[in-house]
Amino acid sequence: MSQNSYYDNYAFYDDNKVANGYDEKKVRTISNEAAVKITNVQLAYGKHQVLTGINMTVPAQSIYGLLGPSGCGKTSLLRCVVGIRRPDSGHISVYGRVPGHPDSGIPGPGLGYMPQEIALFLDFSIYETFKYFGRLYQMDVKQVSERTDELISLLNLPNKHKFIKNLSGGQKRRVSLAAALIHSPPLLILDEPTVGVDPVLRQSIWNHMEMLCRELGLTIIITTQYIEEARSADVVSFMRNGKLLMERNPIQLLTAMRLPSLESVFLKLCQLESVDDAIDDTVVVVDNNNKPNGSHVNQSFELTERPAMGEDVTRDEKYVYHNDGQPVASNHQMAVQNRPQLLANKSRFSFIRRIGALNWKNITGIRRNLSMLIIQFLMPSFQCLLNFTCLGPDPYDLPVAVYNADRPAIMSDLFLRALNNGTMALTSYDSLEAALDQVRAGSAWAVISFAANYSRLMQSLAYDEVVESIPKIGVYLDTTNYVISNTIQKELYLTYNRTATVMAELAG
């Protein structure tokens, strides 16, 4: 690629403005303050490189469109911005503070986040939704009430006592946006807020975002896969395969590249990158007099001495520059200017108030669904009643045959008396075979037999004497019914333990 080939194709010419639909009135003047500044950020998940040398600057009080297909790294980049994930290298600052620093409020009340899905409590009213999120941010009732009235007026919401489940899709999305704004955060991040909505609602959302920037001084970062809708943003950037291809005002970008749509611009940038690696770290910025500015163009471009948006301001970051090239306040001083006042309160015991907010939410949900509460209380009782009705109570008076050859039957009688507690109905037989015949005939569930020397052996064990064999109780079970056989077996074990304890006490 020749030295001037890029400018030959995409230079700025005054006579092309009308032909390409350029209108200077549509380019809103934005602040020179850097709300979010990202410098050479690298991030990898294992061996997979997700972000490669990202340099990005989000001007304060502007709408910044982060564009790119799914899987290009948009979400990973935002996770780094909100402090959920730390980059492997590079630097990120939000209003002059590093995310995760105690004074930054990020993650936390320092930003508002609107997810792609409508994550609202459908059984809550609009005011209850705002009250819940306000209590999470430790706002008092008066502040929540005032902000509710402001947001309802600002976003054209219906009556604050109307339930979320009765709202239209567009109203739900505006309530979700208002919930992210309840504590007046200086930075608002919207994750594909227009996905799956009709064009009218999409335009309405963009109108509301422009109003928030204009009237509240918010900085908005919006991610979207719909590239064309980002025409309304103040600055757009294109991401592909973890790289930031370009960062620029969309109207000026279309004029510069003489292309009819942002999709065509994105396609052209991808082609340039693929063919000749023409855009390595390509953040291109246009200043107010429509002159290209920045050293993030590839090596064939003529570099300027002034720092570009998205690039290091200076090595020590002592000064930042207006578009006229004159240094202004320090980076931190500039970050504090015009920052919206945060309504969230900070306290050492903030977790107590957050727990209180969660309890209030649960109690409100229960009060709103008393029928479900009644069912939760009655269901266990109903299940127990159903179980007893279908299965019945514990088995009792189970016929059991007994053959006792023990003489004298001291210990065996003690065991049988302890066993006869209503669970089993015992019947004695003269021989083991006769007792077993009762089980075979189905007249008894089990046979219990004692050997002839059972009592003598048990007494010898009680006095720690040496015995020739271990005394045993023979048990023959009919296992065709698991519940009954298990009941008999359990009762025999418990009875044996009781009699053994009594014998130990008698023996001293």
For residue 401, the cross-strand partners are 427, 447
Q: How many domains does the chain have?
A: 2
- The verdict on 223 and 326 lying in the same domain is yes
Is the pLDDT assigned to residue 335 strictly greater than 90? no
Q: Which one of 278, 313, 346 terminates a domain?
A: 346
- Please check whether residue 152 lies inside any domain of the structure: no
- The verdict on 98 and 224 lying in the same domain is yes
CATH number at residue 279: 3.40.50.300
pLDDT at 295: 35
Strand pairing of 111-114 and 89-94?
Answer: unpaired
- Which pTM value belongs to this model? 0.56
Min mean pLDDT across 79-93, 99-113, 442-456 is at 99-113
466 membership: H or E segment, kind and range: none
**Complete DSSP assignment for 362-381:** HHHHHHHTHHHHHHHHHHHH
* Three-state SS at 29: coil
Read off the pLDDT band of 486 (50, 70, 90).
very high
- Please check whether residue 69 lies inside any domain of the structure: yes
pLDDT, one tens digit per residue, over 283-309 is 444 444 433 343 333 333 232 333 333
Is the pLDDT assigned to residue 368 strictly greater than 90? no
pLDDT at 29: 52
Residue 439 contacts residue 401 (beta carbons within 8 Å) = yes
- The verdict on 331 and 452 lying in the same domain is no
What CA–CA distance (Å, rounded) separates 13 from 20? 11
Backbone angles phi, psi at 375, to 5 degrees: -60, -40
- Please check whether residue 134 lies inside any domain of the structure: no
- The verdict on 202 and 93 lying in the same domain is yes
- The verdict on 413 and 321 lying in the same domain is no
- The verdict on 301 and 239 lying in the same domain is yes
Which residue type sits at 474? G
Q: Which domain holds residue 201?
A: 5-110+185-346
- Please check whether residue 460 lies inside any domain of the structure: yes
- Please check whether residue 472 lies inside any domain of the structure: yes
pLDDT at 462: 65
- The verdict on 315 and 420 lying in the same domain is no
Read off the pLDDT band of 331 (50, 70, 90).
very low
Q: Long-range contacts made by residues 40-47, C-beta under 8 angstroms, separation at least 24?
A: 40/89, 40/90, 40/91, 40/312, 41/77, 41/80, 41/87, 41/89, 41/90, 41/91, 41/92, 42/87, 42/88, 42/89, 42/90, 43/73, 43/76, 43/77, 43/80, 43/85, 43/87, 43/88, 43/242, 44/88
Read off the pLDDT band of 258 (50, 70, 90).
confident
- Please check whether residue 441 lies inside any domain of the structure: yes
